[in-house]
Amino acid sequence: MQWTDGMLYPLLHRLERNGWVTADWGVSDTGRKRKHYVLTPAGRSELETRRSQWTVVAETLGKVWARVVGAFRTPVGAWA
C-alpha cells in the first residue's frame, strides 16, 4: 500500500479517539472551514514514551551494527 495525503485523516481521527490530539473546526485565512488539530498533554507524554522507546531501539541496533561491522573488520585485519 502506498502512503497518500488522504490517509493522514483516518490516522488523525485515530489519535483523536485515543485522546492524543483534540480537533475543532475553525476558519482558515482564506475564509474556508478548516479543522485544527492540537496535541494534548496525554498525547505529548505518549509521544515522549514512543520517542524514548525508539531511542532505545535505535541505540541497541546501533550497538549491534557496530559489533557486526567490527567482527567483520577484525579477521580481515588479521589476514592482512
| Interface residues toward another protein, by CB under 8 A | 1-2, 4-11, 13-14, 17, 28, 30, 32-35
Q: Which residues contact 26 (CB under 8 A, 6 or more apart)?
A: 33, 34, 35, 36
Smallest gap from residue 31 Cβ to another protein (A): 11
C-alpha cell recorded at residue 44: 505529548
Nearer to another protein, 10 or 75 (CB): 10
Nearer to another protein, 8 or 47 (CB): 8
Smallest gap from residue 37 Cβ to another protein (A): 10
Round to whole Å and give the CA distance between 21 and 15: 6
20 DSSP 8-state letter: S
